[in-house]
Every structure is written in structure tokens, then in C-alpha cells.
Amino acid sequence: MITHPALAAAPHAFFTRQGGVSEGGYASLNCSVSGRDDPTKVQENRARAAHALGFSVSALTGAYQVHGPDVAVVEAPWPDDVRPQVDALVTRTPGVLLGIVTADCAPVLFLDATGRVAGAAHAGWRGAVLGVLEATAQAMRDLGATAISAVVGPCIGQPSYQVRADLRDEVLARDADDARFFAPDGDGFWRFDLPGYCVARLQADGVQAAATGHDTLTDAALFFSHRRRTLGNEGVIGHQLSAIGIAT
């Protein structure tokens, strides 16, 4: 479990891939309910994560993540088979644990100053450009949040994230000043600073933001990584969970 002092007023964690029961490419704390891992093992992994934060697994509430800007308000936990197609969740309901799964995209956990309004977002580059982080903060404000803090968890770091010019062009189409998040890498390639971009977008929206600084691609012992799997032709992989909740 990786935690951050900015979120200390609420149970939260950016979980690693360690401590679960899954095997093979899913070893071991795979928490994705959308893959081909044994569902009973995934359920056990999710239960272990929830229990580590003081919740039952039935409190763990997720989304069918689609790389968009939409946010759902969670008033009560819902079953995994009716997850809405959104990339962020917010709640002010005690006993709800919000969960996001990632394997290179940025998991972002949010909390207001009172510790009574929380949020969780899945921010790949596309969702971040489309405004999922600002939408999460606004949804929290609509629930009464003030003085929001957010932490960008383990995700692919700039040295590991080679992208083509077309991705850079899509980012810069929104704001040319965001060229500062790209380092040239020769022959039409760039290195994109996803966590830095997320932090900057949050700060511009009035959110106190920080990043844990973990690069998912470079640490195979701790993190699943879609890019590492692709580069190494490794086959299936799991996804790590990031979660935050309102204690009862």
C-alpha cells in the first residue's frame, strides 16, 4: 500500500500488485473485474484490499472505465455487473469505498478539507485532456467540498512514456503551452509527462495536487504495466487498485 499525507483524513491507498492470490501474468493482487483472471481470485484480491482499509468488499464501488470525462456520484455501493461507463467517482456517503484500476494510466484520489467528500479518477492521457480531473473536482464541489486535495498515484513516468507526434498534437490542440510536458525523443517521437500534466491541470483548477512519483513501467515487482507488457510481448497482465473512502 502506498499512501500520501495529503489524504490522511480518509482511508486510502494506491495498492501495488503484491499481496494477492492471482497467478501467472495476473500475479498477484489483480483487482480488475474485466479481465480473464479467475473471478474468485479477483474477488479475494478485492476483498483483501477493502479489508486493509477497514471496509467490506461489498463497499468497494468501481466503474467501467472508458477514457472519458464523465463522473458518477455514488450514494450507495453498486454491484460490479452494473458499473456505469465513467472514469471518475465521487461520494459523501460514509461506508462507500471508491475504486479505480490502472496499469499505466494515472489513478488520482481526491479528498476535501473536511474528509467527508472523496473522489477517485482514472486519467489516461485522453481522459486528462478531455477534463476528467476538473470534472471530478467540480462534482465534489457540487456535493459541498471545499479546499480539495488530490494525489496522482503510480503511473507511467515521462522517461518511460514514448508517444508519437499525433498524441502530442491532440494535447497541444487544447493549450499550446502544454508543450512543456513533452521532451523530444527523435524521429517524430516525444516523451510525455503524464503525472506532471495531471498535477498542472489540477492546480490550475484550484486543487492542491501532488504525485507519488512511482513509474509503473520500470518497477515490475510492484506494478502492472500495459506498456511493459506490450514492449516485452508478455501476454496477459492484471491491474492495480487505487481506493479512497469515507469511514463510517
Q: Which three cell numbers stand for residue 193?
A: 509527462
Q: Which three cell numbers stand for residue 42?
A: 479477483
In terms of residue numbers, what domain contains 165? Answer: 158-192
The total of other beta-carbon atoms located within 10 Å of residue 76's CB is 10
Q: Are 188 and 215 members of one domain?
A: no
- Confidence (pLDDT) at 197: 98
pLDDT in tens, the chain (248 residues): 999 999 999 999 999 999 999 999 999 999 999 999 999 999 999 999 999 999 999 999 999 999 999 999 999 999 999 999 999 999 999 999 999 999 999 999 999 999 999 999 999 999 999 999 999 999 999 999 999 999 999 999 999 999 999 999 999 999 999 999 999 999 999 999 999 999 999 999 999 999 999 999 999 999 999 999 999 998 999 999 999 999 99
Classify residue 144 by burial, with Cβ atoms within 10 Å: 0-12, 13-18, 19+. Answer: exposed
- Confidence (pLDDT) at 117: 98
154-182 core/surface letters (b: 16 or more CB in 10 A; e: else): bbbbbebbbbeeebbeebbeeeeebeebb
**H or E element, residue 170:** helix 165-174
CATH number at residue 26: 3.60.140.10
- In total, how many domains does the chain have? 2
Q: Are 131 and 68 members of one domain?
A: yes
- Confidence (pLDDT) at 153: 98
Q: Are 172 and 144 members of one domain?
A: no
The DSSP call for residue 215 is B
Q: Are 12 and 111 members of one domain?
A: yes
Q: How many whole angstroms separate alpha carbon 66 and alpha carbon 96? A: 22
Q: Are 91 and 175 members of one domain?
A: no
Contacts of residue 177, defined as CB under 8 A and 6 or more positions apart, other chains included, come to: none
Per-residue pLDDT of 108-160, as tens digits, reads 999 999 999 999 999 999 999 999 999 999 999 999 999 999 999 999 999 99
Q: Are 166 and 231 members of one domain?
A: no
Q: Are 81 and 187 members of one domain?
A: no
- Confidence (pLDDT) at 10: 98
Q: How many whole angstroms separate alpha carbon 151 and alpha carbon 140? A: 15
Q: How many whole angstroms separate alpha carbon 207 and alpha carbon 247? A: 22
Q: Are 122 and 210 members of one domain?
A: yes
Residues 60/49, Cβ–Cβ less than 8 Å: yes
Q: Are 18 and 52 members of one domain?
A: yes
Q: Are 165 and 225 members of one domain?
A: no
Q: What is the pTM of this model?
A: 0.98
- Confidence (pLDDT) at 222: 98
